[in-house]
Amino acid sequence: MNILYCGDTNMKRGLLISILSLTRQVKEPLNIYILTAFMQNGDQKYYPLSQQTATELDVLVQTTNPENHVTLIDVTALVATAPPTANLDTIFTPCCMLRLYADQVTELPAKLLYLDTDVICRLNCQPFYHQNLTGLELAGALDHYGRWFFHQNWDRFDYLNSGILLLNLAEIRRTGLFARCRVMCQTQRMFMPDQSALNKLVTHKRLLPRRYNEQRRLQGNTVFQHFTTSFRFFPWLHTLTVKPWQVDEMHSKLKLHEYDDILNDYQKLIVTL
């Protein structure tokens, strides 16, 4: 199974938790690829994940299965040739757009499961990964809130959340989807730029059930839980953002103990990465 993560050195905590969850649920070999880069917006600098961290993760995943591997790929040069100029200073880190350079990375295989680093794999995801994507560029689940406000077709929900995407990279290379998204990020300022560009430009996609990208509350059949910002109405209307590495808040604010075994291991391991 081929997995893709993207980000800078700040991804370390979420990356460790997400990878730990995969090693518990996936019995086939995991080929985990991490795209990283140096990016800058004015005085704000984003530094690549270190090779040392990737090597330590590689050693870690092989304790579960010796055929597991973690590969770090620095795409700083690719980003420098076509930076997402119009979207470097949004409220989101520009490193979220690194996935849009994947088609240019020859080391990456034809099929990938892209995961944000605030995603935990809760159940076996192998049947999900091995679905047939012939003729499709990608598959994903609806954005929990965005589906109400953003549409490509006004007669149905069709706005995808980009935090969990099953990618047919061979088809994406053929259609030029990511190349067109990069141009859009260069020239047009957008809210959630990579997600907006993908939704605007994708032509062949599959909508997947909510259980493959649960963004609200844990359900009995949840395969992937994605810890995004949510709205809460009691005791007042407010937003709530809790990430998996915020262990105390996972317990106190979300009342969630589902992943305590993973989080216990995370707390022991993070000090060495």
Residue 190 has what pLDDT? Answer: 84
Distance CA 138, CA 148 (A): 21
Distance CA 7, CA 20 (A): 18
Task: Tell me the per-residue pLDDT of 243-271, one tens digit each, with 9 for 90 and over.
Answer: 999 999 999 999 999 999 999 999 999 98
SS (H, E, C) 17-53: HHHHHHHHHCCCCCEEEEEECCEEECCEEECECCHHH
pLDDT at 91 over 70: yes
More confident residue, 26 or 241: 26
Residue 231 has what pLDDT? Answer: 52
For the ranges 15-19, 68-72, 150-154, 249-253, the lowest mean pLDDT is seen at 150-154
pLDDT at 72 over 50: yes
| Mean of all residue pLDDT scores within the chain | 92
Residue 236 has what pLDDT? Answer: 46
Please state the pTM of the whole predicted model. 0.93
**Mean pLDDT in residue range 81-94:** 87
Residue 56 has what pLDDT? Answer: 97
pLDDT at 198 over 70: yes
Distance CA 31, CA 29 (A): 7
Cβ count within 10 A of residue 11: 21
Distance CA 249, CA 238 (A): 16
Contacts of 51 (CB under 8 A, 6+ apart): 72
**Mean pLDDT in residue range 197-203:** 95
pLDDT at 193 over 50: yes
Token pair for 219: 């359900």
Domain edges within the chain:
2-229
Residue 62 has what pLDDT? Answer: 98
Q: Which CATH number fits domain 2-229: 3.90.550.10, 3.40.50.2020, 3.30.9.10, 2.40.128.20?
A: 3.90.550.10
H-type alpha helices, 151-234:
169-175, 177-187, 193-201
Task: Tell me the per-residue pLDDT of 130-184, one tens digit each, with 9 for 90 and over.
Answer: 999 999 999 999 976 554 455 666 555 578 999 999 999 999 999 999 999 999 9
More confident residue, 149 or 14: 14
Contact assessment for residue 141 and residue 212, using Cβ atoms and an 8 Å cutoff: yes
Strand duo 205-208 + 138-142: pairing: parallel
Which among 127, 161, 167, 140 is positioned nearest to 230, based on CA atoms? Answer: 161
Percent of the chain whose predicted confidence (pLDDT) is above 90: 81
Residue 235 has what pLDDT? Answer: 56
pLDDT band at 121 (very low <50, low <70, confident <90, very high): very high
Residue 157 has what pLDDT? Answer: 52
Distance CA 201, CA 210 (A): 22
**Mean pLDDT in residue range 107-121:** 98
